[in-house]
């Protein structure tokens, strides 16, 4: 869905500059089996499709990633190929920033508190509603992405499918593991789980072994502190120095715990309770988080603040019309 055109002069200058960068499409390089030297990585390859080829199989062969089949299909304007048919394989982003002459891409980020069997728990979206929402995304052609893909897009070093969505959970509950995750896997969706480390292993919470299994299965494990409490308010009588130390320790120790258990970097933070201010954001950046997520609805274009990424809360009472309205992927821009 689209919103009103933007008219702020600074946006126009930024977007016009980016369009100039992205519009310089170089001519293709013909690729043959007999060629020994690889072409420069920025040049598209001109190849011949094999019998039975799909965009995914071509992407696997030349981009080493079948999930990039959407790039083959979009670049060539077709989703099926005959044997011997010429195909252009883009070797670099060809639509940086999601920019086109009439606007730019924005990425919706969905935030779930939890998934449950029914609507008995206030924080839980019922299984039936979650299943319906995910199948709607699949039917409408949405592709679930990772936070790393989003930050690459925002850094102008990666490209996303036109209908991308980032699915996140502010919980590491056992019900999410048993109910929500199987639905995502069935549909081929990935997601991001933000864990409060002090609660891992609690009753009705995932264990570290289960979280490690999600990590091995391709889900992103992020951090939302140790306790999950808001970090934007000092307690009564707390000095600023003590407050600063408590914020730093809350995020640093939680990040270290996740990294120790997963033996992998923890790069993404969901601000506890969705709250942040300039101090908390600065601490997140200083500690090495690549991006941090709010719990406020809004657009996420390539020029958004990486430490203020917007997320829309998906509650148990949201109907499908409102759910669809929360998934804006395109902003019209008046650059005249």
For 223-281, how does the pLDDT look when each residue is reduced to its tens digit (9 = 90+)? 999 999 999 998 889 999 999 999 999 999 999 999 999 999 999 999 999 999 999 99
Task: For residue 47, name the pLDDT band (cuts at 50, 70, 90).
Answer: very high
Any idea which architecture 103-332 has in CATH?
Alpha-Beta Barrel (3.20)
* Residue 336 pLDDT grade (very low, low, confident, very high; cuts 50, 70, 90): low
Predicted pLDDT of residue 120: 67
> For residue 41, what pLDDT is reported?
58
Question: Alpha-carbon distance 239 to 255, whole Å?
Answer: 24
Query: What pLDDT, on the 0 to 100 scale, is given for residue 2?
Result: 42
Strand ranges inside 121-204, DSSP E: 124-126, 143-144, 164-169, 192-195
Residues 6+ apart with CB under 8 A from 158: 93, 149, 152
Q: What does the pLDDT average to over 60-73?
A: 90
Whether 191 contacts 184, CB under 8 Å? yes
Query: What is the model's pLDDT at position 1?
Result: 46
pLDDT band of residue 118 (cuts 50, 70, 90) is confident
In the chain, residues under CATH classification 3.20.20.370 are 103-332
Confidence of residue 40 (pLDDT cuts 50, 70, 90): low
pLDDT of residue 45: 92
Q: In the structure, what pLDDT confidence band is assigned to residue 119 with cuts at 50, 70 and 90?
A: low
d(CA 278, CA 296): 16
Q: Average of pLDDT values for 126-143?
A: 96
Residue 20: its H or E element = helix 9-22
Q: What's the mean pLDDT in 112-123?
A: 84
Does residue 34 have a pLDDT over 80? no
> In this predicted model, what pLDDT tens digit does every residue of 90-103 receive, in sequence order?
988 888 889 888 89
Mean pLDDT, the chain, rounded, equals 88
Condensed to tens digits (0 to 9), the pLDDT of residues 270-325 reads 999 999 999 999 999 999 999 999 999 999 999 999 999 999 999 988 999 999 99
Distance, in Å, from the CA atom of 259 to the CA atom of 262, rounded to the nearest integer, reads: 5
Q: CA-to-CA distance for 31 and 19, rounded, in angstroms?
A: 28
Residues 6+ apart with CB under 8 A from 4: 332
CB contact at 8 A, 231 and 284: no
Torsion from C-alpha of 187, 310, 174, 133, nearest 10 degrees: -40
In the predicted structure, residue 4 carries a pLDDT above the cut 60: no
Task: Give the confidence band of 67 by pLDDT, cuts at 50, 70, 90.
Answer: confident
Find the helix or strand (DSSP H, E) in which 17 lies: helix 9-22
Provide the token pair at 45: 């390859």
Contacts of 64 (CB under 8 A, 6+ apart): none
Q: SS3 for 233? A: coil
Residue 6's CB is within 10 A of a number of other CB atoms, namely 18
Residue 180 pLDDT greater than 70, yes or no: yes
Average pLDDT over residues 19-27: 43
Quote the tokens at residue 258.
């996740």
What's the confidence (pLDDT) of residue 24? 41
Beta strands in the chain (DSSP E): 29-30, 45-48, 86-89, 103-105, 109-112, 114-116, 124-126, 143-144, 164-169, 192-195, 220-223, 268-270, 291-293, 312-313, 330-332
Pick from 256, 177, 171: which is nearest to 214 by CA?
177
pLDDT of the residue at 5: 42
Rounded to two decimals, the pTM is 0.85
Indicate the angle between helix axes 240-262 and 208-216, nearest 10 degrees.
Answer: 70
């Amino acid at each position: 869905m689209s919103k009103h055109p933007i008219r702020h002069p600074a946006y126009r200058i930024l977007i016009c500059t980016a369009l100039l960068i992205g519009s310089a499409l170089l001519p293709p390089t013909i690729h043959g089996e007999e060629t020994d030297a690889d072409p420069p990585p920025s040049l598209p390859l001109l190849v011949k499709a094999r019998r039975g080829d799909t965009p995914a199989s071509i992407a696997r062969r030349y981009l080493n990633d079948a999930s990039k089949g959407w790039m083959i299909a979009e670049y060539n304007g077709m989703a099926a190929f005959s044997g011997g048919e010429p195909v252009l394989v883009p070797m670099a982003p060809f639509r940086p920033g999601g920019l086109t002459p009439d606007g730019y891409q924005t990425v919706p980020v969905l935030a779930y508190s939890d998934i449950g069997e029914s609507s008995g728990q206030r924080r839980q979206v019922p299984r039936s509603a979650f299943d319906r929402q995910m199948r709607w995304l699949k039917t409408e052609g949405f592709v679930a992405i990772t936070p790393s893909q989003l930050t690459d897009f925002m850094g102008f070093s990666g490209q996303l499918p036109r209908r991308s969505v980032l699915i996140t959970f502010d919980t590491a509950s056992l019900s999410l593991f048993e109910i929500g995750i199987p639905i995502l896997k069935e549909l081929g969706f990935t997601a991001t789980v933000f864990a409060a480390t002090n609660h891992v292993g609690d009753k009705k919470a995932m264990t570290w072994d289960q979280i490690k299994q999600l990590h091995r299965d391709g889900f992103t494990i992020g951090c939302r502190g140790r306790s999950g409490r808001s970090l934007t308010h000092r307690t009564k009588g707390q000095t600023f120095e003590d407050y600063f130390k408590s914020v730093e320790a809350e995020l640093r120790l939680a990040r270290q715990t996740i990294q120790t258990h997963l033996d992998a970097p923890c790069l993404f933070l969901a601000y506890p309770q969705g709250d942040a201010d300039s101090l908390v954001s600065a601490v997140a950046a200083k500690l090495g988080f690549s991006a941090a997520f709010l719990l406020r609805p809004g657009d996420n274009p390539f020029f958004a603040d990486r430490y203020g990424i917007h997320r829309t809360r998906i509650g148990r009472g949201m109907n499908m019309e409102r759910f669809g309205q929360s998934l804006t992927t395109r902003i019209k821009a008046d650059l005249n």
